[in-house]
Amino acid sequence: MFLTPESDGAPSAGATWRQLFDERACNPPIWSISTDKLLLDYSGVWRYRELILPIPEQYVVSRPEGNTGLYPVGIENCGAGRSGHRQIGIYAGLERLFLKHEGENPTGSFKDRGMTVGVTMANVLGAKAVACASTGNTSAALASYASQAGMSGIVFLPAGNVAGGKLAQSLAYGAKAIQIAGDFDDAMRLVEQVCNDLGIYLLNSLNPFRVEGQKAIGFEILQQLDWQAPDWLVLPAGNLGNTSAIGKAFRQAYQLSLINHLPRIASIQAAGANPFYRSYMQGFAKRESVHADTLATAIKIGDPVSYTRARRVIEESDGIVEEVSDDEILAAKAVIDRAGIGCEPASAATLAGIRKLVARGVIKHDEQVVGILTGTLLKDSKTGIPQEVSGDVIAATIDAVRGVLSE
Ligand code: F0G
């Protein structure tokens, strides 16, 4: 159908879509009297349902999710009253920078967007049990949505490599957590086999419906920018599901004339978990895998399953793959945290990558850039955060406080 963007002045299918999505975004979420349809319109995923999964409403399993903040943090576009946020733009070296905080989703990461669609499909199929391998965020989202739908959730985790907040979520939401003596890549191989043998519905990003849901991050960013595509979209990359999903969303938005150019996509890997970067550096001549090692446990992945789809996204968007060290990740995280926004370590790879690409002159300092923060700071309260309050416990008196503040 709509294969090329329309020429200027022609009746625009893009305008019709924009109007539909904008009307839905304006529906106020009045919970007590709302119909299911209004709730769907309020979800930052199901608002775009025609482009994601057109399905009768009674099957949809939604919190709802999405509607996450898009923070203007560049030197120029950081408005009055946000001087603290401007520190991020200064660190990046960019005039116009936005950070999309997917940590503001119901379970604290972007995974909710794919999970609402994946669990909805499991619901349609009448699945009783769903499973995934995970570095922690997918499992937290699966556990939440499976419980909402009354299904059993089973999560396969690399033992000792899942941040405490994420593990706590999976357990609290009632999933069966199975710890593997191995890394994420081992867990991934195992869960595929388990799902095949035992007839359990697989909800890793190999599942195409998960990817369809994650496209909504891309649509929502475009809508928040009033359908003006940015020059660059930068995100952390592990299993490469998100790179695939965002790229697909932009491709679709372009084909439907929702936008008039494709943003360039930059996928950022941790240097100790960089198989995609290694392949990219050889012009994708060979699919690489590594034994992954990084303190950003969310992206500690050595053999990403969505390699082929993500490669296509980088190639067709004239994109780039970059790597950043753990020290660069921690430094960027400290900047995001101190600005009052906060994120988990893997998410900070975004800002570390942007800074590096700007310094290298790949991203120009006046280009418009959107970076994705994939998870909330609360997921991992250990890495890169002081573990103790400095100073002694003081008496509860004003004099004692004066003493501390004058130090
Ligand atoms: N950031 C965070 C916080 C993540 O949890 C993940 C992936 C990524 C980035 C990378 O996204 O895999 O689509 O390239 N987490 C998965 C999980 C692997 O199991 O939660 P990707």
Residue closest by Cα to atom 4 of ligand 1: 298
3 pLDDT above the threshold of 50: no
User: What's the pLDDT score for residue 134?
Assistant: 98
Given the CA of residue 379, which atom of ligand 1 is nearest to it?
A: 3
Given the CA of residue 238, which atom of ligand 1 is nearest to it?
A: 14
User: What's the pLDDT score for residue 36?
Assistant: 67
205 C-alpha vs ligand 1 centroid, how far in Å? Answer: 10
Mutational test site, ligand 1, from 135, 297, 351, 383, max ligand atoms within 8 Å of CB: 135
User: What's the pLDDT score for residue 39?
Assistant: 81
Given the CA of residue 301, which atom of ligand 1 is nearest to it?
A: 18
Mutational test site, ligand 1, from 217, 299, 376, max ligand atoms within 8 Å of CB: 299
The stretch 299-306 carries a mean pLDDT of 97
The tokens for 215 are 């496209």
7 pLDDT above the threshold of 70: no
Residue closest by Cα to atom 6 of ligand 1: 298
Task: Determine the 3-state secondary structure of 261 from DSSP.
Answer: coil
237 pLDDT above the threshold of 50: yes
Instruction: Point out which residues pair with 113 in neighbouring strands.
Output: none
* pLDDT band with cut points at 50, 70 and 90 for residue 38: low
Burial per residue of 113-150, b for 16 or more beta-carbon CB atoms within 10 angstroms, e otherwise: bbbbbbbbbbbbeebebbbbbbbbbbbbbbbbbbbbbe
* 3-state secondary structure labels for all residues of 349-393: HHHHHHHHHHHCCCCCCCCEEEEEECECHHHCCCCCCCCCCCCCC
Position with higher pLDDT, 348 vs 81 = 348
User: What's the pLDDT score for residue 205?
Assistant: 84
Given the CA of residue 347, which atom of ligand 1 is nearest to it?
A: 1
93 C-alpha vs ligand 1 centroid, how far in Å? Answer: 26
The stretch 320-344 carries a mean pLDDT of 98
Given the CA of residue 137, which atom of ligand 1 is nearest to it?
A: 20
Task: Determine the 3-state secondary structure of 186 from DSSP.
Answer: helix
* pLDDT band with cut points at 50, 70 and 90 for residue 33: low
User: What's the pLDDT score for residue 13?
Assistant: 87
* pLDDT band with cut points at 50, 70 and 90 for residue 80: confident
Position with higher pLDDT, 386 vs 319 = 319
pLDDT digits (tens, 9 = 90+) for 262-291: 999 999 999 999 999 999 999 999 999 999
User: What's the pLDDT score for residue 27?
Assistant: 72
User: What's the pLDDT score for residue 315?
Assistant: 98
The stretch 248-261 carries a mean pLDDT of 97
Mutational test site, ligand 1, from 191, 242, 307, max ligand atoms within 8 Å of CB: 242
- Indicate the average pLDDT of the chain: 94
Which residues approach ligand 1 with their CB closer than 6 A? Answer: 109, 111, 134-138, 205, 236-243, 298-299, 344, 346-347, 374-375
Distance from C-alpha of 301 to C-alpha of 293, rounded to nearest angstrom = 8
357 pLDDT above the threshold of 50: yes
243 C-alpha vs ligand 1 centroid, how far in Å? Answer: 10
User: What's the pLDDT score for residue 43?
Assistant: 93
* pLDDT band with cut points at 50, 70 and 90 for residue 390: confident
Mutational test site, ligand 1, from 102, 104, 111, max ligand atoms within 8 Å of CB: 111
Residue closest by Cα to atom 12 of ligand 1: 239
The stretch 252-257 carries a mean pLDDT of 97
The stretch 177-187 carries a mean pLDDT of 97
pLDDT digits (tens, 9 = 90+) for 130-179: 999 999 999 999 999 999 999 999 999 999 999 999 999 999 999 999 99
Crossing angle of the two packed helices 208-224 and 111-124, in degrees rounded to 10: 130
User: What's the pLDDT score for residue 158?
Assistant: 97
The stretch 67-73 carries a mean pLDDT of 98
CB 120 within 8 A of CB 390: no
Give residues with Cβ within 8 angstroms of 193, minimum separation 6.
Answer: none
332 C-alpha vs ligand 1 centroid, how far in Å? Answer: 18
DSSP 48: G
Given the CA of residue 166, which atom of ligand 1 is nearest to it?
A: 20
